[in-house]
Chains A and B, each alone.
Chain A
């Protein structure tokens, strides 16, 4: 990922951030549009989470990582604080590997 890509993402991110304060008297976001973007972001996050949990390159990543992520997902659904979720994912995966699972 070259520096140019970082700059592009940074510029787009800042544009999203500054647009509200600059345009606040002139625009409102239709609730339907806001729901669509929220849904799109959630779909993207889940798709990314699923592929990065289950695959490495073009093939299966092994069982330890997806099991760690599964535990993290259950904890997150139960509204466990964020850092605990993150540490649990790493800890479960590490322990499974220690036990010999790939």
Chain B
């Protein structure tokens, strides 16, 4: 096939405040090809494509479509240029049929003749091999069917440049194969396709060319036939960086939480975690690595008692009296093993399990934004106190201590936490959780959005807790930090454990590879 350039982006830059999401990116897309856009979380893949589809407007640089310089200011502009993007979150009206969703907002004139529309939808479906019933309601559809509606919607509007943002994230392998078959048909029809993904085997499977982004920068592009997963991983994660985070060994390491066959399904029945088994030990930091959305949130919430789990799952908490050396049939010793599945957070704390949780959503799940420091401290101790009155003295003291010890910058302890900066909010939250004298401390993206100094404060706090014998579970996104901070790193990929690597054996490339492809043999 003759190569005609469909889209060219030259020196495109996009900043969000201080953060540079895309830095002078050059990208070329040809007609009749499938281009994979590969990169870690936050590498700017979606941002770049959003500029093509009109959701963001580039700060700098120029976009050419079919050789002409264009300005794309809105999704409508993008449609007019034949660019259609299928987002990760579907934009469909539940109570409408497939056909109604497809024609929504179109100004084709005439009345709404459902038969004519259905025929047109059928024609597109037959041409590319989609399986779609125009009269099916969206609420009756599987995720894969909804995705089909989204793609047909874009094609119905005459798009010939299609961008798919992580289309396979929600699909089963069979559905993925079907999608890829359709994508190949569209390619054969001369359409240009971009697939945003971080699954290497899919890149190898479906695409003709791979473009790699890292931290907003364009690393380069290669023809898929000239590369292999290892080379792509190297391009994606780059070289390891020295951070000099201390990682002393704790004196005593004991098993604290044993997770067995943990399976969590979301409300649509899609497994978010499947058959996850591992042990978290007191005196150790267990790092959890993985592309975001691989099940990290569900894992922590399952342990905290916030996620319903499948019946075969077990989360066993071994308290401080538990003797690791006792034989397995020692009934006395078994009394010190507690099942956490099916317990609410309150049950868990009543059982004497000191679990501290620093969730990803600090001002949503962690703290109440409109309440002041004292009241937020009180959230952990409101059940204590005399009669119907809560004891406010201790939380107030705790708030004062946290402000002093962690150097929280706040006008006073009666300031609502929403007025604090991100780093200070995190210090308040971490300070409160640590003050509970936990035996297990879980944190999700604890340093996200924090400056270097605060990040190091948090790292030191984690290490301090570890040395006290606490089992620390640290979900992180920066591999360099995970490699230096953690004693072991568990890698999640698509809700499954793709490997548990001890600090000594962990390399950035190895972890990167585990993050992007599930390898059974790598499981420990």
- Binding between chains A and B: no
Instruction: Name A residues whose Cβ lies closer than 8 Å to a Cβ of B.
Output: none
Instruction: Name B residues whose Cβ lies closer than 8 Å to a Cβ of A.
Output: none
